[in-house]
Amino acid sequence: MSNPAPIELVCPAGGLPALKAAIDNGADCVYAGFKDDTNARNFNGLNFDDNTLREGIRYAHERRAKVLIALNTYPQTENWARWTAAVDKAADFGVDAVILADIGLMDYARRAHPDLRLHLSVQGSATSYEAINFYRERYGIQRAVLPRVLSLAQVEQVVKNTPVEIEVFGFGGLCVMVEGRCALSAYATGTSPNCNGACSPGKAVRWEQTPQGMETRLAGILIDRFADGERAGYPTLCKGRFEVEDATYYAIEEPTSLNTLELLPQLMAMGIRAIKIEGRQRSPAYVAQVTKVWREAIDSCQKDAAHFTPKAAWMAELNKVSEGQSHTLGAYNRPWK
């Protein structure tokens, strides 16, 4: 098996320490956002102001790594100028690409900054080569991030029929919604993750110790209850435990992480251009640990894809930071077919 171009490892940078951790451990690219709702990880304590972004770009470029800025939420009529200003700022700072979902913003970026590289966000939900080719012809995108709903055969079909670089998720949390277009969180909190950039925004989150255990709530809704000594997770509706017909369990989605290490040879052979690691809301330690494993794995697979097998130590390290300490191949592998 061979690949025409090396796969880039694209890692999350929720802040400057995470950016440096990713690059120091072998990331080819990091993706980041500004400290506002122009990006889909708009949480307190995350993201970049002008000073930290300037330092991050310097740090990355000196080490031959790229910085991608996610502007992947959807502007509204009354705040359109802030999103276009964010595109302008990203271009002025010299980022290597912007990751966009909104077609109006893509049109603006192409007209105002014709030399700025555009990537289609997973939030754009393009699952066919026809859609991706439309974005290329109309807006000049050079890379598309595929939603995590396609099988390997479907991914291969996309790659074969578009000149656009294809990036896929390799590791990290999953979402039962259409790639983050969460109606559950918006229903519960009145705040749309797709426009305001935060699923389960901090202002709606509560932890409360009760005689029954630690309870987590979102906008007053009981999401989960944890026994003493059990780790209390962040309250997101899709990953809560609920009582259904006298049984309490993860009724919508069990906590688990996508891990596609074993699929690396196939992904390389079909011409995938980049592997994305999810987790801008995670710690620098998480970023370092996951990046280090994936760097070693990609390098090993590039050298000898025919004999590549994920090391048990790699899988153990990734399981430590996986949701529920377990992993899945997600939609890439559909045994029921």
The domain limits of the chain are: 8-174+256-332, 183-249
Q: Which residues contact 65 (CB under 8 A, 6 or more apart)?
A: 23, 27, 28, 29, 30
Beta strand segments in the chain, E: 8-12, 29-32, 66-71, 97-100, 118-120, 143-145, 165-173, 205-210, 213-218, 221-226, 242-244, 247-249, 257-259, 274-277, 327-328
165 has which bridge partners?
143
Q: Which residues contact 315 (CB under 8 A, 6 or more apart)?
A: 259, 261, 327
User: Where do the H-state alpha helices sit in the chain?
Assistant: 16-24, 50-62, 80-93, 103-112, 129-139, 152-160, 183-189, 193-196, 264-270, 284-303, 312-320
Pairing status of strand 221-226 against strand 213-218: antiparallel
Amino acid 251 reads A
Query: What pLDDT is stored for residue 335 in this prediction?
Result: 61
CATH of domain 8-174+256-332: 3.20.20.70
Amino acid 278 reads E
Closest CA to 201 of 226, 183, 219: 219
pLDDT string in tens for the chain (337-residue length):
444 578 999 999 999 999 999 999 999 999 999 999 999 999 889 999 999 999 999 999 999 999 999 999 999 999 999 999 999 999 999 999 999 999 999 999 999 999 999 999 999 999 999 999 999 999 999 999 999 889 999 999 999 999 999 999 999 988 766 666 778 888 889 888 888 888 888 889 999 999 999 999 999 999 999 998 888 878 888 888 999 998 988 888 877 889 999 999 999 999 999 999 999 999 999 999 999 999 999 999 999 999 999 999 999 999 999 876 778 888 887 664 4
Q: Would you mind telling me the total number of residues written for the chain in this entry?
A: 337
Please tell me what DSSP assigns to residue 44.
Answer: T
